[in-house]
């Protein structure tokens, strides 16, 4: 069994005194999902390393993620969140990079067309190019044209698109959306997370209905720019499991060679988040 890297996991604690949550943020269930809780799901599936994604309700306080990375050195890498509207978000990026953070989550909010047209975003993308730090957009297909424009302005900035741009989240996998995502393959520094199967298409294991979408993304990006991820703890609910998610890559996509699977399950994420 390939020792995999899970490229997208959230952790949080019920210790609200030490790690307070932002007022008004959505309070997700379960009330806690610590590294130890995650390991109970990940280790049986042969996952050796993991990329942590800063939890939204901690906002710009990356403390819990950083403390988790310190407690399990070599096991976790991190994708942080910084305030792009602050005077110097790039300075914060450089500081977090000293502690092993290798990417930064960015989201469009209510402005998928103009969200990247700010001085703060310009500074972040420049810093990403200079320090080889990935921009990690959590977006829907409507935000992909703005990412395309930013990649043209900043061709050296690594970009990792979360969850295949959430194509199929409505239940319908639209060809126009797939073309928008695959169009980003012309930018050599753009990679895609093949992930969050519980939330896409029919949303039912073994997720075979997602195979045509994954094949199209694979044909345009190639295996070296794709990485698998679970999106735990959201992947481990009701009938969904890490085992079912990773099985789609290991056993459910006959167009993947053994080497392709090695890239999707380990080497792509390793090259971006663990070097």
pLDDT tens-place string over residues 190-230 = 999 999 999 999 999 999 999 999 999 999 999 999 999 99
Q: Between vectors from CA 165 to CA 163 and to CA 169, what angle results, nearest 5°?
A: 80
Other beta carbons within 10 angstroms of residue 243's beta carbon come to: 17
Query: Can you give the residue range of the structural domain that contains 263?
Result: 4-273
Query: For position 242, what pLDDT does the model report?
Result: 98
Q: What is the CATH number of the domain that holds 231?
A: 3.20.20.140
Residue 26, pLDDT score: 82
Both tokens of 42, joined, read 């990940």
Give CA separation, 158 vs 26, 58, 139, 168, in Å.
30, 25, 16, 25
**Residue ranges in the chain whose pLDDT is less than 70:** 1-2
CA 24 to chain centre: 24
Q: Which of 196, 182, 179, 258 is nearest to 225 (CA)?
A: 182
pLDDT in tens, 115-150: 999 999 999 999 999 999 999 999 999 999 999 999
pTM for the full model?
Answer: 0.97
CA–CA distance, 93 with 89 (Å, rounded to integer): 6
| Dihedral sign from CA coordinates of 53, 56, 62, 67 | negative
- Cβ(57)–Cβ(29) below 8 Å: no
Domain count, the chain: 1
What is d(CA 190, CA 207) in angstroms, rounded to the nearest whole number? 25
pLDDT value, residue 2: 67
Beta strands in the chain (DSSP E): 4-9, 47-53, 76-80, 101-106, 134-137, 159-161, 190-195, 226-229
Distance CA 127, CA 150 (A): 13
User: In 156-204, which residue ranges form alpha helices assigned H by DSSP?
Assistant: 175-183
Neighbouring residues of 42: CB distance < 8 A, sequence distance ≥ 6: 6, 9, 50, 230, 232, 242
Q: Show the tokens assigned to 223.
A: 């295996």
């Amino acid at each position: 069994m390939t020792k995999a890297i899970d490229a997208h996991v959230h952790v949080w604690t019920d210790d609200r005194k030490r790690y307070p949550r932002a007022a008004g943020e959505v309070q997700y269930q379960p009330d806690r999902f610590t590294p130890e809780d995650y390991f109970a799901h990940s280790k049986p599936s042969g996952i050796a390393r993991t990329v942590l994604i800063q939890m939204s309700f901690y906002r710009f306080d990356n403390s819990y993620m950083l403390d988790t990375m310190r407690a399990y050195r070599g096991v976790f890498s991190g994708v942080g969140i910084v305030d792009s509207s602050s005077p110097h978000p790039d300075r914060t990026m450089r500081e977090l990079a000293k502690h092993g953070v290798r990417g930064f989550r960015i989201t469009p909010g209510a402005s998928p067309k103009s969200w990247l047209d700010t001085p703060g975003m310009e500074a972040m993308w420049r810093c990403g190019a200079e320090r080889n730090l990935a921009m990690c957009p959590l977006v829907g297909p409507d935000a992909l044209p703005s990412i395309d424009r930013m990649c043209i302005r900043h061709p050296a900035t690594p970009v990792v698109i979360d969850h295949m741009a959430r194509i199929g989240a409505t239940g319908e996998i639209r060809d126009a959306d797939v073309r928008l995502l695959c169009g980003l393959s012309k930018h050599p520094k753009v990679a895609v997370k093949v992930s969050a199967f519980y939330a896409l298409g029919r949303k039912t294991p073994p997720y075979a209905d997602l195979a045509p979408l994954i094949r199209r993304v694979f044909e345009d990006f190639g295996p070296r720019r794709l990485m698998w991820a679970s999106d735990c703890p959201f992947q481990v609910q009701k009938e969904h499991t890490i085992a079912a998610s990773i099985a789609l890559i290991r056993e459910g996509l006959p167009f993947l060679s053994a080497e392709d699977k090695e890239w999707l399950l380990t080497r792509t994420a390793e090259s971006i988040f663990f070097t």
